[in-house]
């Protein structure tokens, strides 16, 4: 039985950097999710031939929305849905499932690194057959549908039990409950030297993986403890919880403080990695040592020959404009192609599909490669383990020898949160207008050499995207400003600050960037406009 239900549009169904992200209570409003799903299906022709993956990071409201997707997709005559067992799939594993099974897309229910629970956030990442997030023109078409929606279709078939792998049906739609782990583990085994990593993890090397009560817990247990011989207990916060056990599942120095404290204590293990709610972001730590995401991309690239899948050569590398220039130094030295894209993993997809790049990364704790079309937290962890298994050096020594070879790009991100949207928009508009007048100005010894809005011209489909404002200084330092596209309350101004050094390699970024941080506030006038004398978060 299929019903057609009358509805009225919500005006806020606009996707951000990666999917639709809202306060859970907003997503729980009557017909909110139904409208959004129907709007997506309205943009896809020939649904009777289309197959999608459905799953999520285990957060609150996922199990309800999975059943809604089954019923709405079936009412729209979708050919087949692959549903992850227990409704759990990580964003990277989801990308692999799309590509391996030639699916037409995926609904991964996650607000990523944002907190969960009824008072937290809910989200839908909508991926296409590319294996990655839908492109801006596709999200625009969906938003236009959402603004004019009048009705949606829904089947009243029974709720489907997701606890066992099997095949069933709702209307004409085939529903296959799949194991979300096995293919992903095989994929990782085809890239890395599992034998060497197993030897390392069977030795006295001590490793902690923090899944932050997100979806990577079961992946990491199967990967590290069951396949690679790491001792039981290596994976902590390993059970996906609807509210992440109260954690803010964002693997950075602030929200994974418990792990940082452990790694800076006397009893620190040799190596730690943390992943976010849906397993695409990662943080890497050594004993009393933090690897910034920008450095992570540069160091992995410099060591690609140690990895079986890459040892015969890689294509180029790419980073978002806001990410530090560290990887460019490596690309230049190794004669690899180098690309700079707007923030958002979707902008790497064309570069991967056209074999222009193999590796890419972002300052927002994302690193990955062309094995899939999303960033991949477990991949990054295995890459480090493989490097350590080969080099038998500490994380700090690996980073230090990298900086000795290439210099160090000291880097910090300052976030000013919860700014009223109109204030944030005005700040960015005024700042953009002031860019030409900044050139040649001297700010406490930092002289502006160039200042411009970042515009990306995609070499494949020729689309242009504007994202962020860039200020360069004569000594090679840079500041990038942009508004976050993943928040759910107010606007967040992100200020990315970078300074290149070849001598003082082991200083604290806060010290090295203190003056430039002040300059960044002076240029943006953030204090005058928001009353905030300091950033809310520094990472
Ligand atoms: C998402 C995108 C990333 C992007 C990040 C930026 O991450 O997938 O590619 O770097 O947003 O966030 P913001 O716009 O807030 O700076 P995730 O992990 O939330 O999916």
- The token pair that represents 298 in the structure block: 């540069």
**DSSP letters for 43-85:** T-S-GGG-EEEEEE---TTHHHHHHHHHHHHHHTT-SEEEEEE
How would residue 197 be classed by pLDDT, with cut points 50, 70 and 90?
very high
Distance 18 CA to ligand 1 centre (A): 6
Distance 503 CA to ligand 1 centre (A): 33
Q: What is the pLDDT of residues 255-293, one digit of tens each?
A: 999 999 999 999 999 999 999 999 999 999 999 999 999
User: What are the pocket residues of ligand 1 if the criterion is a CB atom closer than 6 Å to any ligand atom?
Assistant: 17-18, 112-113, 276, 280-281, 343-345, 362, 364, 366, 484-486, 494
* Residue 91: pLDDT over 90: yes
How would residue 79 be classed by pLDDT, with cut points 50, 70 and 90?
very high
Percent of all residues in the chain with a pLDDT value above 70, rounded to a whole number: 100
| Mean pLDDT (whole number) for 314-340 | 98
Q: What is the pLDDT of residues 137-173, one digit of tens each?
A: 999 999 999 999 999 999 999 999 999 999 999 999 9
- Atom number of ligand 1 nearest to Cα 125: 20
Residue nearest to atom 18 of ligand 1 (CA): 112
| Mean pLDDT (whole number) for 197-202 | 98
Residue nearest to atom 16 of ligand 1 (CA): 484
The pLDDT assigned to 325 comes to 97
| Mean pLDDT (whole number) for 397-414 | 97
112 part of the active site: yes
- Phi then psi for residue 342, to 5 deg, are -65, 165
| Mean pLDDT (whole number) for 118-146 | 96
The pLDDT assigned to 489 comes to 84
How would residue 488 be classed by pLDDT, with cut points 50, 70 and 90?
confident
**Which of 184, 15, 10, 160 is closest to 97 using CA atoms?**
184
- Phi then psi for residue 149, to 5 deg, are -65, 140
* 444 burial level (CB within 10 Å; 0-12, 13-18, 19+): exposed
- Atom number of ligand 1 nearest to Cα 114: 19
How would residue 32 be classed by pLDDT, with cut points 50, 70 and 90?
very high
* Residue 487: pLDDT over 90: no
How would residue 485 be classed by pLDDT, with cut points 50, 70 and 90?
confident
How would residue 310 be classed by pLDDT, with cut points 50, 70 and 90?
very high
The pLDDT assigned to 307 comes to 98
Q: Are 227 and 194 in contact (CB under 8 A)?
A: yes
């Amino acid at each position: 039985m299929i019903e057609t239900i009358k509805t009225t549009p919500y005006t806020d169904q606009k996707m951000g950097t990666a999917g639709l992200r809202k306060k859970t209570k907003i997503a729980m409003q009557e017909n909110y999710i139904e409208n959004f799903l129907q709007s997506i299906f309205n943009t896809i022709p020939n649904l009777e031939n289309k197959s999608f993956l459905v799953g999520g990071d285990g957060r609150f409201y996922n199990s309800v929305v999975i059943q809604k997707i089954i019923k709405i997709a079936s009412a729209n005559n979708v050919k087949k849905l692959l549903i992850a067992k227990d409704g759990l799939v990580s964003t990277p594993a989801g990308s692999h499932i799309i590509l391996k099974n030639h699916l037409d897309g995926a609904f991964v229910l996650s607000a990523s690194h944002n907190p969960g629970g009824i008072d937290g956030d809910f989200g839908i990442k909508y991926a296409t057959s590319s294996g990655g997030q839908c492109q801006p023109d596709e999200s625009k078409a969906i938003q236009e549908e959402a603004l004019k929606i009048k009705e949606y279709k829904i089947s009243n078939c029974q709720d489907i039990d997701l606890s066992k792998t099997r095949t069933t049906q709702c209307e004409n739609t085939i529903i296959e409950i799949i194991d979300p782990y096995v293919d992903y583990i095989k994929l990782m085994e085809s890239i890395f030297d599992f034998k060497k990593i197993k030897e390392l993890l069977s030795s006295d090397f001590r490793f902690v993986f923090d899944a932050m009560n997100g979806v990577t817990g079961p992946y990491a247990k199967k990967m590290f403890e069951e396949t690679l011989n790491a001792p039981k207990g290596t994976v902590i916060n390993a059970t996906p919880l609807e509210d992440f056990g109260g954690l803010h599942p964002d693997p950075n120095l602030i929200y994974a403080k418990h792990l940082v404290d452990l790694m800076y204590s006397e009893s620190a293990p040799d190596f730690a990695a943390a992943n976010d709610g849906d397993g695409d972001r990662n943080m890497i730590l050594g004993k009393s040592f933090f690897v910034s995401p920008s450095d992570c991309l540069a160091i992995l690239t410099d060591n690609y020959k140690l990895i079986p899948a890459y040892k015969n050569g890689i294509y180029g590398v790419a980073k978002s404009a806001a990410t530090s220039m560290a990887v460019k130094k490596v690309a230049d030295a190794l004669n690899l192609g180098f690309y700079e894209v707007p923030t958002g993993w979707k902008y790497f997809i064309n570069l991967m599909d056209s074999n222009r790049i193999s590796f890419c990364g972002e300052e927002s704790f994302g690193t990955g490669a062309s094995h899939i079309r999303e960033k991949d937290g477990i991949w990054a962890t295995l890459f480090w383990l493989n490097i350590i298994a080969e080099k038998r050096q500490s994380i700090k020594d690996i980073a230090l020898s990298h900086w000795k070879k290439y210099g160090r790009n000291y880097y910090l991100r300052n976030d000013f949160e919860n700014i009223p949207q109109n204030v944030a928009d005005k700040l960015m508009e005024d700042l953009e207008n002031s860019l030409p007048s900044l050139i040649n100005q001297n700010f406490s010894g930092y002289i502006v050499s160039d200042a411009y809005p970042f515009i990306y011209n995609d070499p494949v489909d020729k689309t242009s995207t504007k994202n962020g404002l860039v200020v360069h200084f004569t000594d090679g330092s840079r500041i990038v400003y942009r508004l976050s596209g993943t928040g759910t309350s107010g606007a967040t101004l992100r200020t990315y600050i970078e300074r290149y050094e070849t001598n003082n390699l082991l200083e604290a970024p806060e010290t090295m960037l203190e003056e430039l941080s002040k300059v960044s506030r002076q240029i943006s006038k953030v204090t005058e406009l928001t009353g905030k004398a300091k950033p809310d978060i520094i990472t």
